[in-house]
Amino acid sequence: MPSHAPFPIADVLDAPSQLDVAGALLDLLRDTTTEPRPDAQLEALTLAVAVDLPVLLWGEPGIGKTAALTQLAESLDLPLTTVIASVHEPSDFSGLPVIGDDPALQGVPMAPPDWAVRLVRAGRGLLFLDELSTAPPAVQAALLRLVLERRVGALRLPPGVRIVAAANPRASAADGWELSPPLANRFVHLRWTHDHEVVVRGLGGTWPRATLPRLDPRKLPEAVDFARRAVCGLLAARPTLVHRLPGSETGRGGPWPSPRSWDMTLRLTAFATAAGSSREVLSLLVRGTVGDGPGLELLAGLDRMDLPDPEELLADPAGADLPERGDLRQAVLDGVVEAVRHRPEKSRWDAAWTLLVRAMETGAPDLVVVPATALASLRRAEWDVPAAIERLAGAVSLSRRADRATDRAVAATQAGR
């Protein structure tokens, strides 16, 4: 949303026509400002632009996709070039043949459109491909080279040009088409929705500000290593996720896993890590690149990568810092029990009990029931029972009584049928 200096009312008090007064009123309505405000989808868009990956915003008509792109271009100080894909011919993207002096020797060059020439001359800019879902298949095919190779006719767009597209779902698009799988697989797909508070505050004159992520130079090598371990670890364990073309036409027109989209995911994960982005932002980007299923598997793997080392916890169980989330805490406790099972020693067994007591005191007591039962089964005959077990007895006993009560209730319900 543009920001303008206050319009001098005195200049229109003696305006020669009502059109001049109307123009002054329009200037006042366009007089808006921006403010820093947490906005996950705007941060995800800005991060993808920083990574120099093509982004596709999906949203219903009137949701604010074009306005967001306009504000993004102004915030990043990039000239905005808008191209309505649905009203162009394939030759507008692949280039128009121009016959030279001797085609047999010189060939026939493909002349680019004027908007591409302007972008090359500027050396930088934001190319906005609007109404992508209403572009017919022939135009989508011509866009493949533009989106992937950044070529328009004989021109190559400079590195300073970023590409963002927008589309309406087929059900709400005028004469809409599903995106072809080759074109869809070249984009980071972001579902664009409206936030009630953002809209209300924006209509009041203040919109959220888009800013490029601040990358910590000290974290760059660590971020790359983290992203590579996460993606490669998942694909090594789940080889069927390397390439999975959806069975439905609608699914093929959205995000799905392929070597290309996994490479995009790796880059986004590295950038998000170096920028310290939230897990919500990374979730939008990852699921928008390889799809919900594979994306959620990767996110779960990232959570496990962040878990503390069981050996470090056993070395200092009283001072252990355990995750707050129940599923992650359960995974940590299970890992500690497995570490003791792998190398059973009295000191390690005692340390594990101390850790379970800390987990009970700092979180939900029921989370220690399963690991406590497993840890008890590892006891050797010559090992004395540690005093810590007494502190866990109440939680374990209460959980077992609750389980038995639940079993009785289920049995009674089934008997009454």
Average pLDDT over all residues of the chain: 84
What does the block give as tokens for 290?
A: 């390889």
Contacts of 118 (CB under 8 A, 6+ apart): 81
Bridge partners of 98, per DSSP, are none
Collapsing DSSP to helix, strand or coil, 191 comes out as strand
Cβ density class 285-309: b for 16+ within 10 Å, e for less: bbbbbbbeebbebbbebbeeeeeee
Contact 140, 89 (CB under 8 A): no
Contact 64, 194 (CB under 8 A): yes
What does the block give as tokens for 243?
A: 């390439």
C-alpha angle 198/78/67, rounded to 5°? 30
Give the length of the chain: 417
In the predicted structure, residue 397 carries a pLDDT above the cut 80 = no
Contact 182, 54 (CB under 8 A): no
In the predicted structure, residue 412 carries a pLDDT above the cut 60 = no
CATH of region 34-96+110-208: 3.40.50.300
- What integer pLDDT is reported at residue 4 of this predicted model? 52
Q: Quick: pLDDT tens for 39-50.
A: 899 999 999 999
Mean pLDDT of 385-408: 56
What is the four-CA torsion angle of 212, 218, 222, 228, rounded to 10 degrees? 40
Q: Quick: pLDDT tens for 149-162.
A: 898 888 899 999 99
- What integer pLDDT is reported at residue 400 of this predicted model? 47
Mean pLDDT of 129-134: 88
Collapsing DSSP to helix, strand or coil, 96 comes out as strand
- What integer pLDDT is reported at residue 15 of this predicted model? 59
- What integer pLDDT is reported at residue 39 of this predicted model? 86
- What integer pLDDT is reported at residue 298 of this predicted model? 94
Mean pLDDT of 306-325: 86
Contacts of 181 (CB under 8 A, 6+ apart): 245, 252, 253, 256
For residues 69 and 405, which has the higher predicted lDDT (pLDDT)?
Answer: 69
323/406 Cα distance (integer angstroms): 29
In the predicted structure, residue 113 carries a pLDDT above the cut 90 = no
In the predicted structure, residue 289 carries a pLDDT above the cut 60 = yes
> How do strand 155-156 and strand 151-152 relate by DSSP bridges?
antiparallel
The secondary structure of 18-57 as a DSSP string is HHHHHHHHHHHHT--EEE----HHHHHHHHHHHTT--EEE
For residues 30 and 274, which has the higher predicted lDDT (pLDDT)?
Answer: 274
Contact 72, 210 (CB under 8 A): yes
Q: How far is CA 79 from the centre of its chain?
A: 25
Contact 333, 362 (CB under 8 A): no
- What integer pLDDT is reported at residue 272 of this predicted model? 95
For residues 3 and 102, which has the higher predicted lDDT (pLDDT)?
Answer: 102
In the predicted structure, residue 393 carries a pLDDT above the cut 80 = no
Bridge partners of 84, per DSSP, are 130
For residues 4 and 129, which has the higher predicted lDDT (pLDDT)?
Answer: 129
Highest averaged pLDDT of the listed ranges 90-99, 107-116, 169-178, 301-310: 301-310
Weakest mean pLDDT among 14-18, 363-367, 410-414: 410-414
Weakest mean pLDDT among 5-9, 56-60, 177-181, 361-365: 5-9
Identity at 211, one-letter amino acid code: T
Mean pLDDT of 380-393: 77
Weakest mean pLDDT among 154-168, 196-210, 345-359: 196-210
On the 0-12 / 13-18 / 19+ scale of CB atoms within 10 A, 247 is: exposed
235/40 Cα distance (integer angstroms): 27
210/6 Cα distance (integer angstroms): 23
57/19 Cα distance (integer angstroms): 36
What does the block give as tokens for 236?
A: 């090594």
375/373 Cα distance (integer angstroms): 5
Query: 19 φ, ψ to 5°?
Result: -65, -35
> How far is CA 371 from each of CA 327, 339, 356, rounded to the nearest angstrom?
13, 12, 8
Question: Considering the chain, what percentage of its residues have pLDDT values greater than 90?
Answer: 35
In the predicted structure, residue 416 carries a pLDDT above the cut 90 = no
Contacts of 159 (CB under 8 A, 6+ apart): 52
What is the C-alpha radius of gyration for the chain, rounded to an integer number of angstroms? 29
On the 0-12 / 13-18 / 19+ scale of CB atoms within 10 A, 365 is: middle
For residues 281 and 203, which has the higher predicted lDDT (pLDDT)?
Answer: 281
